């Protein structure tokens, strides 16, 4: 049977393609081709299928379509060559740690672990040299060690999100080169061994919306340059060793919702009066050395979105009875301060309130009836508070 038909090779495919593309071309002529399949499991068994010209044309078209899809898919998956080189420099800076095991030539760089590229179409990506890397995440790996390779990361011109999280081996200072990431909207370097100051150069990141440098060993003052960022709405610098005063205009441009965590530092001075104009959702200034009036700037009108406030373990002193709590308030901790006055009657009517702690202060008077559902420890060690859940007030 094998001698009855010619076998169709890639030359035959080329001939058919030639005829399809240009009927006037001088294309080589062959007889009726066939497809010859060899069974690799049974090498003595060959199967030959006759292939007429219409079938040949169809096969050519199918092969061309498959090749086009494969090319488009590869182009769509491939990141910009400059970004790829920058990522490989990051990998090298961390000593080719096992975290980067997928960062190899046979895997498209947009599929590398911890890397995300933009959604540019294949045609647009091809025109611009490839898809741009928009997110780089290095997380939860004790095997990654060394300083943050700022110069390499700064070469990722389209980077919008940079995340170093739970990588205790990452150490050294936050590199000033990160300030060159003009498209960066989210910067997280948290739970690492990073030390030194918070770079004032971060104030150049005009697109930044969220900054999280918590759980590190950062020292020095909070740079006032952060207050100039027009889109910054969330700051977390908690669990560091920061000192000095809180910049008065911090988050002054945050817009309708602001989030601030500066807890577990050594900050001093007062809660800025300018905070009265900030629409906070959550504020945590606990475990610092703040003094003065911390209430009037954080409560009252204009704070309708406020959900959680923690001012505990400072040296704040203000009259709590004058505070106006928002209806959405769900958590309030002002324990371990020098707060005077009494608990406002309106506090007992807060339907969303889940946590309330005013212990270790100088409060006095009868608790609102709605406070009876809270534990006794929430009110202990005050001057003369009474009423449920504490003992009844004396006549």
* pLDDT tens column, 203-220: 999 999 999 999 999 999
Q: How many CB atoms lie within 10 A of CB 49?
A: 11
CA–CA dist 56, 35 (Å, integer): 10
What's the pLDDT score for residue 179?
98
Residue 17 pLDDT > 70: no
What's the pLDDT score for residue 274?
97
What six digits make up the tokens of 36? Answer: 């010859």
* pLDDT tens column, 248-286: 999 999 999 999 999 999 999 999 999 999 999 999 999
* pLDDT tens column, 340-365: 999 999 999 999 999 999 999 999 99
Please answer whether residues 269 and 245 qualify as being in contact, where contact means their C-beta atoms are separated by less than 8 angstroms: yes
Q: Among candidates 152, 150, 120, which has minimal Cα distance to 134?
A: 120
Residue 7 pLDDT > 90: no
CA–CA dist 337, 316 (Å, integer): 5
* pLDDT tens column, 123-163: 555 556 789 999 999 999 999 999 999 999 999 999 999 99
Q: Kindly list the distances between the CA atom of residue 196 and the CA atoms of 219, 277, 312, in Å, as whole numbers in the listed order.
A: 5, 31, 26
Give this prediction's pTM. 0.81
What's the pLDDT score for residue 378?
97
């Amino acid at each position: 049977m094998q001698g009855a038909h010619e076998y169709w090779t890639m030359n035959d495919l080329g001939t058919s393609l030639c005829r399809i593309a240009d009927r006037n071309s001088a294309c080589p002529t062959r007889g009726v081709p066939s497809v010859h399949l060899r069974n690799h499991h049974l090498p003595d068994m060959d199967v030959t299928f006759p292939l007429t010209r219409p079938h040949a044309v169809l096969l050519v078209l199918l092969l061309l379509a498959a090749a086009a899809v494969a090319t488009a898919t590869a182009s769509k998956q491939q990141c910009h060559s400059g970004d790829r080189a920058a990522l490989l420099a990051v990998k090298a800076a961390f000593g080719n740690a096992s975290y980067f095991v997928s960062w190899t030539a046979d895997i498209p760089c947009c599929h590398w672990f911890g890397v995300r590229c933009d959604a540019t179409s294949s045609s647009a990506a091809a025109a611009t040299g490839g898809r741009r890397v928009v997110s780089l995440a290095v997380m939860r790996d004790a095997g990654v060690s060394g300083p943050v390779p700022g110069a390499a990361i700064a070469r990722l011109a389209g980077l919008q999100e940079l995340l170093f999280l739970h990588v205790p081996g990452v150490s050294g200072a936050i590199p000033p080169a990160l300030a060159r990431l003009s498209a960066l909207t989210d910067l997280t370097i948290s739970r690492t061994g990073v030390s030194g100051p918070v770079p004032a150069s971060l104030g150049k990141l005009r697109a930044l919306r969220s900054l999280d440098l918590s759980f590190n060993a950062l020292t020095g003052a909070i740079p006032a340059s952060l207050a100039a960022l027009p889109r910054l709405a969330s700051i977390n610098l908690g669990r560091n060793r920061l000192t000095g005063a809180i910049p008065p205009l911090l988050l002054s441009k945050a817009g309708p919702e602001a989030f601030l965590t500066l807890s577990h530092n050594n900050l001093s001075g007062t809660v800025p009066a300018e905070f009265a104009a900030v629409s906070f959702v959550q504020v945590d200034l606990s475990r610092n050395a703040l003094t003065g009036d911390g209430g009037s700037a954080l409560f009252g009108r204009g704070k309708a979105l406020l959900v959680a406030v923690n001012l505990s373990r400072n040296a704040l002193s203000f009259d709590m009875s004058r505070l106006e709590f928002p209806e959405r308030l769900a958590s309030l901790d002002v324990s371990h301060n020098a707060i005077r006055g009494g608990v406002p009657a309106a506090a007992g009517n807060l339907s969303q309130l889940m946590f309330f702690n005013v212990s270790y202060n100088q409060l006095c008077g009868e608790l609102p009836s709605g406070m009876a559902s809270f534990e006794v420890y929430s009110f202990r060690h005050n001057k003369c508070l009474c009423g449920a859940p504490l003992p009844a007030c004396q006549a």
